[in-house]
Chains A and B, each alone.
Chain A
Amino acid sequence: MENQVTQDRFQSVQDAPALASKGLQLAAAFALGATILFAAAFAQSSAVHNAAHDMRHSQGFPCH
C-alpha cells in the first residue's frame, strides 16, 4: 500500500512537465510576447531606444 503511494508520487513527479496544463503553457507564451513587446516598445535605456527608434515611431508607440 505504502509502496503504491510512493510509486504514484514518483509517477506524478515524472509526469509533472507533461501535466503542466495547456492553459499554463498558453499563459507562458502570452507573457513571453508581452515581455518582448514591452522591451522593444518602452525600454528607456538610451541604447535600446536609439536602436528601436524608427520601429517605435512607425508602430505609433509613444517614443519621446
Chain B
Amino acid sequence: MLFRRIVVIALLSGLAGGLALSLTQRWQVIPIIVAAEHLESQKVEVTGSESSEHSGHSHDHEEWGPEDGLERILFTTLSNVLTAIGYALLLVALGAAASIKFGKARMSFASGLAWGLGGFITFFAAPSLGILPQLPGVAGTALESRQLWWVATVLCTGTGLFLAHALKTNWRWVGAVILIVVPHIFGAPQADDPYAGHTAEVAAQLSELSGAFLVATAVSSLVVWLVVGSCTGLGLDRVLSKET
C-alpha cells in the first residue's frame, strides 16, 4: 500500500535528518541559545521584582521542563526527529503527487536535494526575511500575529514553488512569483523595541548574538532539509518504481 510505504520512507528520512540536525545544532546553535538565556536572566534583575514573575522564560518557573544537561539534549533531539519526520511526510506526499498526478519524473537522490532546498526556502529562508529566528530574551510582537504571518508565508511560498514545479502552463511563473512575494509586501509584524527591558550593553550583546544565530540556524536548517530531501528522494525512487 502506497501510504504505508511512503510513511516508512518518511520515518527513516526524518530519523536521519533529525539526528543530523541535532549534531549541527549542538555544535553551533545551542551555545548561542545558552549565551542568550544567560543575558535574558540579567533582564529579570534589571526590570525589578514587581514584573519578574511575568518576564523571562516560562521554563524558569514551576511548569515542567527538561533539566539542563542530558535530559534537555534528549528532548531537543526527540523534537528535532519529530520535526524532521513532519518535513519528510510533506516531501514524500508532494514528491509522489508530482510524479503520479502531474506526470513529473520520479524523485531521485539528486532531485531530492532540490526538493530539500525548496523546503529550506519555504520553511526557513522566506519566513526569516520577515521574522528573524528569535533568540531567547529578544521580544517580538504578539505571538499569535507572528505565528499567523509565519504560517501564511510558509503556505504561500510552498504552494508557489510546488505549482512552479508541477504545472505546465507558463502562467505558473506569474502565480508562483505573486504567491512568494505577497506575504512580504503585506509585511511581517515587528516589535517596536526587540531589546526592551535590557541595558544598552546587554542589548548590544544580544544584537551581535542575533547575527551569529541567523547564520547558525540557517546552516542547521539547510542540513536537515538536504538530508531529509536526499533520503526521501532515494526512497521514493525505489517505492514508485514498484507502484508504476
Whether B79 and A40, one on each chain, are in contact in the complex, defined by CB atoms closer than 8 angstroms, is yes
Whether A62 and B134, one on each chain, are in contact in the complex, defined by CB atoms closer than 8 angstroms, is yes
**B147 contacts which chain A residues (CB < 8 A)?**
42, 62
User: Beta-carbon contacts of A1-44 to B below 8 Å, as 1s and 0s?
Assistant: 00000000000000001100011011111101110110111100
CA distance A49 to B83 in the complex (A): 14
* CB under 8 Å from chain A, chain B span 41-63: 57-59, 63
CA distance A39 to B79 in the complex (A): 10
Q: Interface of A with B (CB < 8 Å)?
A: 17-18, 22-23, 25-30, 32-34, 36-37, 39-42, 46-47, 49-64
Report the number of A-B residue pairs with Cβ-Cβ less than 8 Å.
151
CB B71 to nearest CB in A, in angstroms, measures 10
- Lowest 5 CB-CB distances: which A-B pairs, in order? A33-B89, A50-B65, A37-B86, A30-B93, A60-B133
CB A53 to nearest CB in B, in angstroms, measures 7
CB B59 to nearest CB in A, in angstroms, measures 4
**A52 contacts which chain B residues (CB < 8 A)?**
75-76, 79
* CB under 8 Å from chain A, chain B span 2-53: 2-3, 6-7, 10, 21, 25, 29-30, 33
Whether B92 and A36, one on each chain, are in contact in the complex, defined by CB atoms closer than 8 angstroms, is no
Specify the main secondary structure of chain B where it touches its partner: helix
Contact of A57 with B33 at beta-carbon distance under 8 Å, contacts A37-B87, A46-B63, A64-B58 already known: yes
**B123 contacts which chain A residues (CB < 8 A)?**
59-60
**A46 contacts which chain B residues (CB < 8 A)?**
58-59, 63-65
CA distance A56 to B132 in the complex (A): 13
**B243 contacts which chain A residues (CB < 8 A)?**
22
Beta-carbon nearest neighbor of B63 in chain A: A46
Check if B140 is an interface residue, CB within 8 A of chain A: yes
Given contacts A22-B96, A50-B58, A60-B127, 6 further A-B contacts (CB under 8 A): A36-B82, A36-B83, A51-B79, A53-B65, A59-B221, A60-B217
Contact of A55 with B79 at beta-carbon distance under 8 Å, contacts A28-B3, A62-B131 already known: yes
Check if B90 is an interface residue, CB within 8 A of chain A: yes
**B160 contacts which chain A residues (CB < 8 A)?**
none
Check if B100 is an interface residue, CB within 8 A of chain A: yes
Check if B146 is an interface residue, CB within 8 A of chain A: yes
Greatest chain A CB density within 10 A among B72, B79, B132 is at: B79
CA distance A17 to B3 in the complex (A): 11
CA distance A42 to B75 in the complex (A): 16
Whether A50 and B140, one on each chain, are in contact in the complex, defined by CB atoms closer than 8 angstroms, is no
Check if B195 is an interface residue, CB within 8 A of chain A: no
Check if B143 is an interface residue, CB within 8 A of chain A: yes
